[in-house]
């Protein structure tokens, strides 16, 4: 009974009132969409999704394109830590669009690549709405993360009994990364480094120095057509794309 009630709440059956639903659409493969995500998207009157600039497609929108073909869609440029964008202004503009639509009795789905609980820009929008517009109903549909997908595709156990799992944005300095790896070696810790990208060159040097490059797996553009999942020692390109992560079990 409890599971059934929870599923109904996720799908939006609890209330017919207009609302905002943040929808995790998974890492890139449309077959990894959850049933709850598809139902929430079908129910929404307005689809909001992030883009990195005016001339680029949205990865999250591409994943669900067959479900949003005939729906009203609004792309929003997300800052992605780029200096030319003012993040506060972007979040405020996005919130204004969403709040106005909900008040006009339109249910809104905000698409989120991967899972909304992991480094998701959508959390900024959700926080502003919950703090400033408490009357607006909000929900979050979890999605399959790139971490879980990469681990499954490579038969990598993210965490075993007695281990600790650390998920961290890739450090910008070698010294910080070395300290982190030394700590993981001493404490039976599995390390997931997110957003490796242009830092790959220095990361590779550290992995070699600490003699764990053969114990590390890289996962690039998980779920997308150009997906790469392989041992770090075999990846010889100088940089990695934005959607990149490394799985490391030092011991």
pLDDT, tens only, 218-237: 999 999 999 999 999 999 99
Q: How far apart are CA 92 and CA 94, in angstroms?
A: 5
Characterize 158-187 residue by residue with b for buried, 16 or more Cβ atoms within 10 angstroms of its Cβ, and e for exposed. beeeeeeeeeeebbeeeeebeebbeebeee
Q: How high is the pLDDT of residue 84?
A: 59
pTM: 0.86
Q: How high is the pLDDT of residue 5?
A: 45
Cross-strand pairs, 193: 168, 246
Q: How far apart are CA 43 and CA 221, in angstroms?
A: 29
**In the chain, what percentage of residues exceed pLDDT 90?**
76
Decide if pLDDT at 125 tops 80: yes
Place of tokens 């890139």: 28
The single-letter DSSP state of residue 127 is: H
């Amino acid at each position: 009974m409890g599971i059934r009630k929870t599923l109904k709440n996720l799908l939006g059956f609890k209330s017919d009132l207009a609302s905002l639903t943040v929808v995790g659409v998974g890492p890139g493969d449309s077959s990894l969409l959850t049933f709850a995500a598809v139902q929430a998207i079908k129910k929404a009157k307005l689809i909001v999704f992030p883009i990195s600039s005016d001339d680029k497609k949205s990865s999250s929108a591409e994943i669900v394109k067959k479900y949003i073909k005939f729906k009203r869609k609004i792309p929003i440029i997300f800052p992605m830590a780029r200096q030319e964008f003012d993040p506060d202004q972007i979040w405020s503009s996005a919130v204004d669009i969403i709040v106005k639509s909900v008040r006009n009795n339109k249910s809104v789905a905000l698409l989120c690549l991967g899972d909304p609980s992991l480094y998701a820009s959508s959390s900024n929008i959700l926080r502003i709405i919950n703090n400033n517009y408490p009357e607006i109903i909000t929900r979050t549909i979890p999605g399959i993360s790139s971490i879980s997908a990469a681990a499954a595709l490579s038969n990598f156990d993210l965490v075993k009994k007695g281990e600790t799992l650390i998920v961290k944005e890739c450090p910008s300095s070698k010294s910080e990364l070395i300290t982190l790896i030394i700590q993981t070696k001493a404490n039976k810790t599995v390390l997931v480094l997110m957003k490796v990208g242009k830092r790959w060159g220095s990361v590779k040097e550290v992995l070699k120095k600490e003699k764990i490059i053969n114990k590390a797996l890289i996962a690039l553009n998980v779920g997308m057509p150009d997906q790469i999942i392989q041992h770090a020692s075999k990846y010889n390109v100088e940089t990695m794309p934005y959607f990149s992560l490394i799985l490391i079990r030092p011991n």
